[in-house]
Amino acid sequence: MMAVDLRSLEVPPESAEGTPTRVATIRRIVQETPDTFTYWMTFRDPVDRATYRFAPGQLNMLYLFGVGEIPISVASDPELPARIAHTIRSTGRVTDAFRLLKPGDQVGVRGPFGRPWPLREARGGDLMIVAGGLGLAPLRSAIYQAIRHRGQFRRLMVLVGARGPEHMLYRQELDMWNQWMQFRGVETYLTVDVADDQWPYDEGVVTTLFPKVRVDPEWTTAFVCGPEIMMHFALRGLRDMEFPMDQVWVSMERNMQCAIRVCGHCQFGPKFVCADGPVFRYDEVADLMEVHEL
């Protein structure tokens, strides 16, 4: 009667380890603004260096030993994935701890996660990139990819706004891209809310650039990223210019703790921003964006 061994019902153990954490070494730290720094890093393991890939707009979960993980988009050229950059503004417990890092220190990297900027959608037409403040960080990788494949687009327009000249990220590159107009056809339009005497570009919020660009909405794909208030006015501006909603793409921000759609924090209506986004086509989220406190 008791011949059956209940222990034999055991299922053999799984070896799955979830999403792996790769270890990266900080190589260079660049101060962008008074509170924002770009951390350049390379993977410690040669296999990771050889195999890691990401697409523009995707994010990594960066891990600081004993401090925690935070979602940060990759800000470097996707075609040089062996050396990646993350631009981080110190605003909280984990991001503040990043300021203590020095070259040679190690961090954990899980990723990449999320849906990238769809450069493919813009092919054959014009691409307009609209960034506000720190919103330029997730777009920098898209700009690099667009420059690399410049021939696939007609016009390439980069519109950047910031509170003031000292808050403009990647200032040297922006000046450089601006000078490239003659031979690479990258149109840059820069503006700050409040200028100083040294500022050679425009003054005013980013939407004030729209009339200058003389864009052809029917032929243009727009990528938009910035603080909530900037997105609100930029999207309104694009609607006023009669941009087709399915040619406008936005990157959203939400609390994220897992990046694999299980922690629940990044929900935006039915969307998980970490996996369904962070990049959304505007018509997918336009109604949700109208709902207060969603």
Partner 1 sequence: MRYLDREAFGKLVDALAGAGYDLIGPTVRDGAIVLDHIDGAEDLPSGVGEEQGPGTYRLTSRDDDMVFSWAHGPDAGKRFLFPAREVLCTAKRNDGQLTVECRPGDERPFAFVGLRSCDLHAIAVQDRVFLDADPHYARRRERALFIGVNCAVPGGTCFCTSMGTGPKCTIGFDLALTELPGGFVVEVSSPRGEQMIEVVRSREATEEEVRAAQAVTTEAEGQMGRSLDVADMPELLYRNREHPRWKDVAARCLACGNCTSACPTCFCHDIVEGMSITGDTATRTREWASCFSEEFSHIVGMEIRKSRESRYRQWLTHKFASWIDQFGTSGCVGCGRCITWCPVGIDVTEEITAIRATDGEVEVAEEVMAS
Q: Which residues bind partner 1 (CB under 8 A)?
A: 1-11, 13-14, 16-18, 20-21, 23, 63, 65-69, 89, 91-92, 104-108, 253-255, 257-258, 260-265, 267, 269-270, 272, 291-294
Q: Which two tokens stand for residue 21?
A: 């954490």
- For partner 1, the closer of residues 180 and 233 by Cβ is 233
From residue 113, alpha-carbon distances to 19, 29, 272 in Å are 10, 23, 12
Label residue 284 exposed, middle or buried (CB < 10 Å: 0-12, 13-18, 19+): middle
- At residue 265, what are phi and psi to the nearest 5 degrees? -70, -30
Q: Where are the beta strands (DSSP E) in the chain?
A: 22-33, 36-43, 59-64, 68-73, 83-89, 106-113, 126-132, 156-162, 186-192, 202-203, 220-225, 248-251, 267-268, 271-272, 279-281
- For partner 1, the closer of residues 99 and 184 by Cβ is 99
Least Å from the CB of residue 263 to partner 1? 5
Least Å from the CB of residue 219 to partner 1? 33
* Nearest Cα to Cα of residue 114 among 69, 71, 77, 51: 71
Inter-residue contact 90 to 99 (CB < 8 Å): yes
- For partner 1, the closer of residues 204 and 269 by Cβ is 269
Residue spans of alpha helices (H) in 111-218: 119-122, 137-148, 171-179, 181-184, 210-213
Q: Residue with structure tokens 């086509």? A: 281
Least Å from the CB of residue 61 to partner 1? 9
β-pair partners for 198: none
Rounded distance, CA 64 to CA 209, Å? 39
Least Å from the CB of residue 290 to partner 1? 9
Least Å from the CB of residue 102 to partner 1? 11
- For partner 1, the closer of residues 5 and 197 by Cβ is 5
- For partner 1, the closer of residues 1 and 100 by Cβ is 1
- For partner 1, the closer of residues 34 and 104 by Cβ is 104
Q: Which two tokens stand for residue 57?
A: 């707009």
- For partner 1, the closer of residues 14 and 242 by Cβ is 14
